[in-house]
Chain A
Amino acid sequence: MNRETLNFCDQLNINVVEVAHGIAQDASKYLEYAIDSVVARVAPDGFINSQLLETNQHAVHSLAWIATYVEVLLRTSDWADCLDRENRLGDLDQSMLVVIFGEYLQQLKNGIPMNQVETARPVDLGLESRVAECLSSNDIAQLENISANPDFRLAAVQQLSEREFESPIMGDETLDLVREQFRRFADEKITPHAQTWHDKNDLVPLDLIQELGEMGVFGLTLPEEWGGSSLGKLTMCVVSEELSRGYIGVGSLGTRSEIAGELIASSGTHDQKNQFLPGIASGEILPTVAFTEPDFGSDLAHLKTRAELVTRSSGDSVWRIFGAKTWITHAVRADLMTLLVRTEPEERGYKGLSILLAEKLRGNEKHLFPSEGMSGSEIEVLGYRGMREYEIGFNGFEVPAGNLLGDAPGQGFKQMAQAMESGRIQTAARSVGVARNALELGLRYAIDRRQFGKSILNFPRVYGKLLLMAAETIAAREVTYFSAREKDSGRRCDLEAGMAKLLAARVAWSNADAAMQIHGGNGFALEYSISRVLCDARVLSIFEGASEIQATVIARNLVNSRL
């Protein structure tokens, strides 16, 4: 342990890990009161009243954020505890634990920024008296004091800058090996090109995709019998994080394979698995997800694209598709769409939806969508390039009747739910990777940039940013890993996955924004990587379930657990 930090914790004679553990338990009590408060507001009659849920949206979403913060306290204290037991708890780790507890407890008591313009405060849930009861212990005051102490902060940022280029070590042989390989791969084959790909709006080169396929990225979680590696979601997180740290466009390639792979592996018929999974695993089949429509994004229950079963003159049956889909990532290159359509026109809402495994021809710059009955155009975007976004129209596009996922009409929404859980974990991991990239860029610049005769890292307003950026990156990472571990243990984790995605997306954005601020005018110049990372980070709280939708899902889940 560093001498300066030793002073703080030893002089006060506190064991930070133990103290943190106790505080997390107190905070869990506070969360229970928060749930009580929202239950009383939105479910006075023992079931969730949709109208009340909407009227009280700010309070409901405040609950989601409180729960997410309490989750951070629980997961980071577990993380430190685990490092401590394995004798691997370093000086920087302890400092980070102090920073995250110091800051998050203050925010729980005084207001959590859901974003820059909306704050979740105790008063929104009538919890002022509970703050005094649960969040005002001596232990909490002590951690807050250490965290705010300028000498502690200076010592902590010195540890941070010394350890700048190290990856987290998880103490698991396989995971550490996987991380090392993909970190090296990103450093050598992605990072040097990311800025060019973004500037030119280039698609990620096909040979890189092929190489990632050979490394096993696309079949990571698929069973070995279908050409996958049977690895868990936690390994997927590590891989996604490291690739996204290089470039979000590369780290996101696997999202589509993950979702399509999971859909087919869990709901597909044997023939469908046989037909598609080995190709998805090797990267020969590039899939894309086609759920969203121009008029229906988060409100999928109302989507209108319809599929009609017709018998052709040759005698075989096909689905004919009519309608439009939008925000279809990598659509021109994709070979397979998981297409959410209404197959039961008389059924309203979720019940009439099915998923079709729709094969299409790859397009090129001249003919974007050569398949019959399909047309579309590119949606130009601020960031998250590398695969490009498209809007697609279907006018009689055909899918063989046998390509109805699981041969189960009307099951689309149910089939989708589980795969989306995996997609959310993967998105949280991508966000952690982007957050790390921003942190590293900000830290590197702060060390190198000299103003007023010294490195700007020495200014409290610069290192204050970096300390919280680093601590929140760990917070987001630990919540993400926890949700992956839950999923790997066969438990439902939509609550944890939602919290991971909600937090990690905000952290990626705030890290990018703060890192740009540290860059000053240079950060605003297109030639500096942080300008791209800022654009890339912005999408994370929008796609794969916008933060506001995520907050509703989390809060509903918590309220339902009481009913």
Chain B
Amino acid sequence: MQKIMVALKRVLDYNVRVRIKSDGTGVTTDGAKMSINPFDEIALEEALRIKEREKGVEVLVISIGDLVCQQQLRTGLAMGADRAVLVQTDQILEPLTVAKVLKVLVDQESPELVMLGKQAIDGDNNQTGQMLAALWGRPQATFASELLIKGEQALVTREVDAGLETIEVDLPAVVTTDLRLNEPRYVRLPEIMKAKKKPLDIISLDELGVEAISQFQVVLTESPPERQKGVIVKDIGELLGLLRKKGLV
């Protein structure tokens, strides 16, 4: 293992109470706290743990978006990544375009492992990892809750509906990460200082030769309906009565 590539998406911090734009075109991010997508952060943490176990592994972090995404890349560098690349674009990209961008970078960088979150907490698309594996023609192991590198193979435990499934994939491969894989580290102050000196390259989407395609359109974004007031029942009998009246049992 020589190189791991990790994709980091900049998203609204999970603690921020999301507010919908008044015209329904999306959510407001103005002045709100932004963070690395938590699943991507878990992917980076796992990559760093592999790097710490197996000497000589380079960890490369990638983000796609406008210049402010450098902030998340610097965080990744402060966590321990060696190098960062920002693919600069003002457009909001769909998963297929993101996968194509990553594919171009994979061709340039030849990593043995590409890691990313199973989904981002903003769009919840859950597509990019799978699409990248298809474009690349390499194996994919999604929803990883455990990862073990054994020479040319990776043993990946996946969280599936029936329980846990362990599969073996040949490297190079794409692994997408689930919540229980690890708990990301705290960034140490000396590492923050070191991260300022690590390389962060910026290339534009055009330079990479990837065209942003748009296949779907957001029609409306709205808040979930407000929770209705409940009633307090005396006993099971009354509860069943009410449920029957509503035709629920």
Contact = CB atoms under 8 A, between A and B. Distances in A.
Given A87-B30, A165-B15, A177 B193 contact: no
A220 B189 contact: yes
A162 to B, nearest CB: 6
A224 B70 CA distance: 25
Interface stretch (B71-79, B167-175, B201-209): B71-79
B247 interface: no
A163 B17 contact: yes
A169 interface: yes
A178 B35 contact: no
Contacts of A90: 30-31
B192 A174 contact: yes
B74 A166 contact: no
A404 interface: no
Given A177-B74, A177-B75, A177-B78, A169 B189 contact: no
Contact of A229 (B15, B71, B190): B190
B17 A162 contact: yes
Interface string A158-184: 000011111101000110111011001
Given A163-B17, A166-B16, A177-B74, A215 B33 contact: no
A298 interface: no
B74 to A, nearest CB: 6
Contacts of A87: 30-31
Contacts of A174: 192, 196
B189 A231 contact: yes
Contacts of A220: 189
Given A90-B31, A162-B17, A215-B186, A173 B193 contact: no
Given A87-B30, A166-B16, A173 B71 contact: yes
Given A173-B71, A177-B78, A184-B186, A166 B193 contact: no
B188 A215 contact: yes
A10 interface: no
Given A162-B17, A166-B33, A177-B78, A229 B193 contact: yes
Interface in A187-238: 214-217, 219-220, 224, 229-231, 235
Contacts of A413: none
B76 to A, nearest CB: 11
B210 interface: no
Interface residues of B, number: 22
Contacts of B35: 180
Contact of B189 (A83, A167, A176, A215): A215
A171 to B, nearest CB: 10
B186 A217 contact: no
A88 interface: yes
Contacts of B187: 177, 181
Interface in B22-36: 30-33, 35
A350 interface: no
B189 A229 contact: yes
B188 A214 contact: yes
A178 B17 contact: no
Contact of A88 (B19, B31, B189): B31
Interface in A72-103: 83, 87-90
B190 A216 contact: yes
A416 B242 CA distance: 75
Interface residues of A, number: 33
A524 interface: no
Q: Which of B15, B70, B75 has the most chain A CB within a 10 Å cutoff? A: B15
Contact of B71 (A176, A215, A217): A176
A185 interface: yes
B31 A224 contact: no
B71 A216 contact: no
Nearest to A171: B31
Interface string B190-219: 101100100000000000000000000000
Interface string A253-294: 000000000000000000000000000000000000000000
Given A87-B30, A177-B75, A166 B15 contact: yes
Nearest to B68: A173
B30 A88 contact: yes
Contacts of B189: 178, 215-217, 219-220, 229, 231, 235, 239
Nearest to A163: B17
A239 to B, nearest CB: 8
A216 B188 contact: yes
Contacts of A83: 31
A88 B187 CA distance: 26
Contacts of A163: 17
A167 B33 contact: yes
Contacts of B188: 214-216
Given A162-B17, A215-B186, A177 B192 contact: yes
Nearest to B78: A177
Nearest to A3: B22
A408 to B, nearest CB: 31
Contacts of A164: 17
A235 B35 CA distance: 19
Contacts of B78: 177
Interface string A138-149: 000000000000
B175 to A, nearest CB: 25
Contacts of B32: 166
Nearest to B75: A177
A235 B190 CA distance: 12
Contact of B74 (A173, A214, A215, A231): A173
A216 B78 CA distance: 13
A465 B31 CA distance: 26
Nearest to A177: B75
B231 to A, nearest CB: 16
Q: Which of A167, A180, A185 has the most chain B CB within a 10 Å cutoff? A: A180
Q: Which of A87, A88, A89, A177 has the most chain B CB within a 10 Å cutoff? A: A177
A231 B71 contact: no
A554 to B, nearest CB: 32
A91 to B, nearest CB: 9
A181 B74 contact: no
Contacts of A219: 189-190
Interface in A499-534: none
Interface string B29-46: 011110100000000000
Contact of A178 (B19, B30, B33, B192): B192
Contacts of B17: 162-165
A169 B33 contact: yes
A229 B71 CA distance: 20
A442 B160 CA distance: 42
Contacts of A166: 15-16, 32-33
A241 to B, nearest CB: 15
Nearest to A89: B31
A156 to B, nearest CB: 16
The 3 closest A-B CB pairs, nearest first, are A216-B189, A88-B31, A229-B189
Given A87-B30, A87-B31, A90-B30, 9 more contacts: A90-B31, A164-B17, A166-B16, A173-B70, A177-B71, A217-B189, A219-B190, A224-B193, A239-B189
19 contacts: A83-B31, A87-B31, A88-B30, A89-B31, A162-B19, A164-B17, A166-B15, A166-B16, A174-B192, A177-B78, A180-B33, A180-B35, A181-B187, A215-B189, A216-B188, A216-B190, A217-B189, A229-B193, A231-B189
